[in-house]
Structure 1
Amino acid sequence: MQELLFTLDGFKPMGWYLTLVQFAYYSLFGWLEMKLKRESSRRIPMKTYFVLALLTLGTMGFSNSSLGYLNYPTQVIFKCCKLIPVMIGSVLLQSKRYGFLDVSAVMCMCVGLVFFTLADSQVSPIFDVIGVVMISCALLCDAVIGNVQEKSMKSYKASNTEVVLYSYAIGFAYLFIILALTNNLFAGVAFFAKHPVETYGYAFIFSATGYLGIQIVLTLVRTCGALAAATVTTARKAVTIALSFFAFTKPFTIQYLWAGCIVVLGIYLSVLSKRHKNFGVRDVVQFTDKIKGFVVKPKRKIITSV
């Protein structure tokens, strides 16, 4: 749905206004859910929500706007590698430590991302370095937001609905003021009014499915941690890329395929590390020694009595 919106003529500069509409829908959904659940008390301090709202705005705003300058699969493959900044953020903000497999996963994702971007720059008619800068800014915000959410939700035992409502409602206020001061608000209103079904209608479907996804991601953040949530959402994006090439006409090169496979290898290594949390370099050596001992068995001496 997000890619479909950007196929409209003249929609390229509307990424930030789309974010404003998306934030409005999310705030409405969060308010309705809180009313249905009869939740009224706020657990997380407002100063934390001011930070979360700013990070949420950066993540979604830059991500939406980057589609005006990049092919959708390239944007998605960048978001696949959000594991990299999330891991760095976990080390800096929560003093977490990661093992051999996690580091190997990050290296695979970095290499795959570089080759995927190089392929896009060669065959894409709309490739622009501005898009790379925008999606990189979105990833930097991702590096912080998941860890802040994890720490806040565990410390204050706040519900998913509360986090969504306050983060997006405050983010809506931020963005509304920014667009009004830069005169982009009225341009967005005028463009959306000309195509209400293709803009507000598609944005509603995009936001409704996105809201459900956010609830699932926040549950993963609460129960499994920010890195595990990033891994699951990254694996989901493989289907998104496949559907993008199937539904929309765009240039294709074999370099997309093998670069994407390197990223998928990184995802697999990350998932594998969750099953073996203490898997490190020493374990690799021990595992290799066991294999050698199994393959090359010592010959047994047969002793017979006379």
Structure 2
Amino acid sequence: MSVLRLGLCVLGVYSMFLLWAVAQERLSVPFQYIDGQSTDKFKSALFLGTCQSFLSSLSALAYIVIRGKSGSSLSSLLGLNIASLTQANGSSNAKTNGSSNTKVSGHAHSSPTSKVLLLRYLQISAFITVAAPFGFAALSYITYPTMVLGKSCKLVPVMLMNFVMYRRRFAPHKYVVVAMVTAGISVFMGFGNEQPSKASSNGEQGSHGQLIGVLYLVINLILDGAVNSTQDEVFVRYKVTGQQMMLWINLFCTLLSTALGTLPLPHIPVLHPSSSSQSEFANAIGFIRTHPSVIGPLVQFSLTGALGQLFIFETLQHFGSLTLVMITLTRKMFTMVLSVVVYDHKLTFGQWAGAGIVFGGISVEAWVKRKEIHAKRLLQEKEKAKIKSL
């Protein structure tokens, strides 16, 4: 049963996110106008994010209801019964999480509450809502393989934001991984000779356009790092499940992006790129009416993103972060290859070498994690054997 579940998880992550990646790249290039004589680009990243987060919250809710224990209260199903969890796990947290968490559990006024948890979810959702448009805008200036490789470098911003926001320090090997990833992305960018065809529509060409794309990607990665570091903090402090976190984060993302999308905001680069006085959603719906070919990729992007998240959290819950890292690492490699094949990108030998350095660095991280987990399991088995002998 365990092998079958792992196989389904791998198949789900691969199939959903490979299809999601194809749809994302398709949405970044122009669509033909209904008269067949002109093309325009779909620019509403907020509308894309709203569609995906709405379906993701529905998927998470359905998962929680179907897989939840019968007779459980609504607050328990939604992961909001924080007080009882704190009382049950307070002493164990003090032993396992170090002195910083001992202070949290040792004072009554510092005990976590559902209100504080919801504010954490809102914080994560705000980071995601702002980060997504920068990632989508970067595709107007850099190629999708460059984007995939850059997104594979999440370890750098995650470490940075963990240190800046929560003062966490890391093992020496992680800094080696960061150096390899940084060197690899530098080699990839330095040996690139392909410019995205979309850049001309933005009036930016050559190295200047690439710098803008890299800047947008860096902002996206920093915000992603803030998301991941805050998610780690929530998992440690509140003991929620992955599906509960998925539900609340996507629900708040939907509310935030809907609010931003329905307001008649002025022109704001990336967040509200339209120069008209209409709201972002009004422009998006108008674009769909005049460019009906966008509907297919839009549905594919939203649906596969929502279902893919379920497989991600299912893998994390049953097989741990090491297995998830290996799956997502190989998935990113296949995504890059698929993008090269489907959209005929041309990569130089130097770019393939740079990609190899990046993925090599991430593989070092996965290998070290595997050794650490194996050592912990051996220690646990020895402790169990001592207890039995007593």
Same-fold status (TM-score > 0.5): yes
Q: Residue 195 of structure 2: which of 116, 124, 129 is its match?
A: 124
Task: Name the amino acid aligned to 1:236.
Answer: R
Going from structure 1 to structure 2, the CA distance change for 1:226 and 1:138 (only over 3 Å counts) comes to farther
Quote the residue 2:29 is aligned against.
7
Going from structure 1 to structure 2, the CA distance change for 1:90 and 1:259 (only over 3 Å counts) comes to same
Quote the residue 1:246 is aligned against.
341
Going from structure 1 to structure 2, the CA distance change for 1:155 and 1:229 (only over 3 Å counts) comes to farther
Tell whether 2:286 aligns with 1:194.
no
Maintained 8 Å contact 2:42/2:287: no
**Alpha-carbon distance in 1 for matches of 2:318, 2:186:** 32
Maintained 8 Å contact 2:243/2:313: no
**Alpha-carbon distance in 2 for matches of 1:16, 1:8:** 17
Task: Give per-residue Cα distances to partners, 1:279-304, cap 9 Å, x unaligned.
Answer: xxxxxxxxxxxxxxxxxxxxxxxxxx
Maintained 8 Å contact 1:161/1:215: yes
Going from structure 1 to structure 2, the CA distance change for 1:6 and 1:187 (only over 3 Å counts) comes to same
**Alpha-carbon distance in 1 for matches of 2:159, 2:321:** 9
Q: Residue 230 of structure 2: which of 142, 148, 153 is its match?
A: 148
Q: Residue 141 of structure 2: which of 49, 66, 69 is its match?
A: 69
Corresponding residue pairs, total = 276
**Alpha-carbon distance in 1 for matches of 2:308, 2:334:** 15
Shift of 1:244: 0.5
Maintained 8 Å contact 1:101/1:272: no
**Alpha-carbon distance in 2 for matches of 1:29, 1:201:** 20
Q: Residue 57 of structure 1: which of 119, 123, 129 is its match?
A: 129
Task: Give per-residue Cα distances to partners, 1:209-251, cap 9 Å, x unaligned.
Answer: 3234323444566688879856653442111000100111223
Task: Name the amino acid aligned to 1:27.
Answer: S
Shift of 1:89: 2.8
Maintained 8 Å contact 1:26/1:165: yes
Task: Give per-residue Cα distances to partners, 1:7-30, cap 9 Å, x unaligned.
Answer: 342235233322222222223323
Maintained 8 Å contact 1:87/1:227: no
**Alpha-carbon distance in 1 for matches of 2:163, 2:371:** 19
**Alpha-carbon distance in 2 for matches of 1:98, 1:251:** 37
Provide the secondary structure at the position in 2 that maps to 1:250: coil
Going from structure 1 to structure 2, the CA distance change for 1:217 and 1:24 (only over 3 Å counts) comes to same
Which runs of 5 or more structure 2 residues have no equivalent in the other structure? Answer: 1-22, 32-39, 81-113, 200-208, 266-278, 374-390
**1:102-181 aligned within 5 A:** 102-120=174-192, 122-125=193-196, 126=199, 127-179=209-261, 180-181=263-264
Which runs of 5 or more structure 1 residues have no equivalent in the other structure? Answer: 279-306
Quote the residue 2:58 is aligned against.
28
TM-score by length of 2: 0.63
**Alpha-carbon distance in 1 for matches of 2:222, 2:323:** 18
Shift of 1:257: 0.8
Going from structure 1 to structure 2, the CA distance change for 1:219 and 1:143 (only over 3 Å counts) comes to farther
Maintained 8 Å contact 1:150/1:226: no
Quote the residue 1:281 is aligned against.
none
Provide the secondary structure at the position in 1 that maps to 2:181: helix
**Alpha-carbon distance in 2 for matches of 1:117, 1:200:** 33
Shift of 1:139: 0.7
Going from structure 1 to structure 2, the CA distance change for 1:159 and 1:272 (only over 3 Å counts) comes to closer
**Alpha-carbon distance in 2 for matches of 1:223, 1:67:** 34
**Alpha-carbon distance in 1 for matches of 2:58, 2:297:** 16
Provide the secondary structure at the position in 1 that maps to 2:44: helix
**Alpha-carbon distance in 2 for matches of 1:247, 1:117:** 21
Q: Residue 158 of structure 2: which of 86, 94, 108 is its match?
A: 86
**Alpha-carbon distance in 2 for matches of 1:3, 1:26:** 20
Task: Give per-residue Cα distances to partners, 1:69-121, cap 9 Å, x unaligned.
Answer: 2211111111010111112233444554433332211101001112222334x
Task: Name the amino acid aligned to 1:191.
Answer: F
Going from structure 1 to structure 2, the CA distance change for 1:141 and 1:21 (only over 3 Å counts) comes to same
Quote the residue 1:185 is aligned against.
281
Quote the residue 1:263 is aligned against.
358
**Alpha-carbon distance in 2 for matches of 1:113, 1:228:** 24
**Alpha-carbon distance in 2 for matches of 1:232, 1:78:** 17
Maintained 8 Å contact 2:161/2:226: yes
